[in-house]
A and B are shown apart, each in its own frame.
Chain A
Amino acid sequence: MKKQNMWAKIGLYAFLTIAGLLSLFPFYWMFVMATNPNNLINQSPPVMTPGSNLVINFQNVLDSIPFFQAMLNSLIVATTITFGVLLLCSLAGFAFAKLPFPGRTFLFVLILGTMMIPPQLGLIPSYHIITQFGWLSDLRAVIVPGLMNAFGIFWMRQYISSAVPDEIIEAARIDGCSTFRIYWNIVVPVILPAFATLGIIVFMAIWGDYLWPLVVLQDQSTHTIQVALRSLMDDRVRDFGMILSGTFWATVPLIIVFLLFNRLFIKSITDGAVKS
């Protein structure tokens, strides 16, 4: 019995160690290439240890794309959308959970229905609308449609239904609270954990979004970091040291934030999946 346990343990650790290393290896190699000159990367066999070109490679990145501008654009877009979505979805979620109004069920089912529709279906007309608004190469082209989030409403409604008791709302109302004050002073404090979770989900999704920003943000100065990174691949003679330096420095902040809030991240992913 004991012996069997030992073998099981060894197998377990071996399996997870291999999986963990495979999982981390691309990060390591990204760093290796970000710190080596291109000619070493192209040698055979490829380099496996970090070099000393960290600064030079990143300087080359700064020469070919407006890296910090792109990071800033991404930050503006992702933060604005996140806060906007949190506000709009919690308001709508509150209305669907607690306020009786005609057509409530129908309108809610409609929202569920929209979650099934692939975003690419409306891609071309949406692009056309953006051009009509004159928002091409304007961050509003990404921000405004991004505020529409059916999942967020669905999720907030579920959370508010279970986390905010009807009695508290009723009591506040009797005290003469306006509906918006009930939302602001009673619902918002209770749903702070839901804000954190949905905020992470939305922020990550927007930060990583690629197709839509690629289509509407055509001017280089408005590129988000994802679109900017891809344009590093455009050169015919590819400087992999430079390309991966850009990728590396765009990834490092994400990893730092993730390590700081690791538990919150993982909780948000599981909550987001499980609650639905």
Chain B
Amino acid sequence: MAEEYSAQAEKTSQKKKSAFSRRTWDMIAGYSFISPFYILFAVFGVFPIFFSFYLAFFRWDGLNPMEFVGFNNFVIIFNDPLFWKSIYNTVIIGLMGTAPQLVVALLLAFALNSVLLKYKGIFRLAIFLPYVTSIVAVAIVFSVIFSNQESGLANTFLGFFGVDPITWTRSEWGAKFAIAAMVFWRWVGYNTIIYLAGMQAIPNDLYEAAKMDGATVRQQIWHITIPMLKPFIIFSVFTATIGALQVFAEPHIFQGRGGRPEGITIVLYLYRDAFGSNFFGTASATAIVLFFIIIIFSSLNMYFTNRIGRSKKVEVK
């Protein structure tokens, strides 16, 4: 490569005069290389987004002419208890599924990173495997584990502790727990791997020094690992939050096509409204509310993760 390069460099003087046309060529090449994305983006990105905002103010079933109704679609969904239920469920399932997940992932990554541990590869493999499986497969397997029957696996297990069988799909907390368990199980390994990658970048001297000073494992996690992992934690909290707000497949499979109020999420509510009842106007209004909820949660996330990180840094010093 080096020889080629010097050979090419010799020719520099010969072709320098065509510099202007080269710039034009760069422009043409640049625009044509990026144009496929922007063409697709115009058709399947920009247009649908604006059309969604437009559609939210119309009554439309997809066939008959659209009818302008102003803010009526928003009034309709805001007066629908099921809409609020779906928001409540999404937040609760999100918290139940992701908050413990991030803590457990942190502990798992810390354990996998330990110098005392052999066979790291096998443990890592076992914990990561659920992420490779599709959400649909996870939801089906867990639907059977959390079956309503007394002989269902979860109910049998609870039976050992003298707990009465739970009708998982129809109970308020049972449904949420089952759906959150699916989210937890599938994503905990993913976050573990992310944290592990971050931890491997932390110099071991820090832990050695802390141990020398008599720091406990918990203190090591709290004062070294977490502050050093801040960017990774921000990333995972971010993706987990956005993922949690978009939960759909799990309740859709767990509670059947129609869904049930105990497990309905925002996206499921939107989906039922649009493709179950052909209420495209109100469904678009829901999509817009979802959009703003995601923006609000993302900003809150940013704010809090930044604050937590900042106070930690002071402690480290």
A interface list, Cβ under 8 A from B: 5, 8-9, 12-13, 15-16, 19-24, 26-27, 29-30, 33, 41-46, 88-89, 91-92, 94-96, 99-102, 104, 107, 111, 114, 116-129, 131, 144-145, 147-150, 153, 167-168, 171-176, 179-180, 183, 204, 207-208, 210-211, 215, 225-226, 229-230, 232-234, 240, 243-244, 247, 250-251, 254-255, 258-259, 262, 265-266, 269-270, 273-274, 276
Chain B interface helix/strand/loop/mixed: helix
B interface list, Cβ under 8 A from A: 1, 4-5, 8-9, 11-12, 15, 22-23, 25-27, 29-31, 33-34, 36-38, 40-41, 43-45, 47-49, 51-52, 55, 62, 104, 107-108, 111-112, 114, 116-117, 122-138, 140-145, 147, 149-153, 156, 185, 188-190, 193-194, 196-198, 217, 232, 235-236, 239, 242, 245-246, 248-249, 252-253, 256-257, 267, 270-271, 274-275, 280, 283-284, 287-288, 290-291, 294-295, 298
Q: How far is it, in angstroms, between the C-alpha of A23 and the C-alpha of B29 when the chains are bound?
A: 49
Whether B140 and A211, one on each chain, are in contact in the complex, defined by CB atoms closer than 8 angstroms, is: no
Q: How far is it, in angstroms, between the C-alpha of A13 and the C-alpha of B291 when the chains are bound?
A: 43
Whether B30 and A99, one on each chain, are in contact in the complex, defined by CB atoms closer than 8 angstroms, is: yes
Whether B271 and A29, one on each chain, are in contact in the complex, defined by CB atoms closer than 8 angstroms, is: no
Considering only CB atoms, which chain A residue lies closest to B6 in the complex?
A171
Q: How far is it, in angstroms, between the C-alpha of A268 and the C-alpha of B189 when the chains are bound?
A: 14
Q: From residue B186, how far is it (CB to closest CB) to chain A in Å?
A: 10
Q: Which residues in A have their C-beta under 8 angstroms from that of B29?
A: 95, 99, 179-180
Whether A273 and B144, one on each chain, are in contact in the complex, defined by CB atoms closer than 8 angstroms, is: no
Query: Which residue from B8, B108, B134, B270 sits with its C-beta under 8 Å from A226?
Result: B134
- Given A23-B126, A118-B242, A148-B37, does the pair A233, B140 have CB atoms closer than 8 Å? yes
User: Can you list 11 contacts pairing A with B, beta carbon distance less than 8 Å?
Assistant: A8-B116, A12-B117, A26-B130, A26-B145, A95-B31, A116-B295, A120-B267, A121-B291, A127-B274, A149-B37, A270-B197
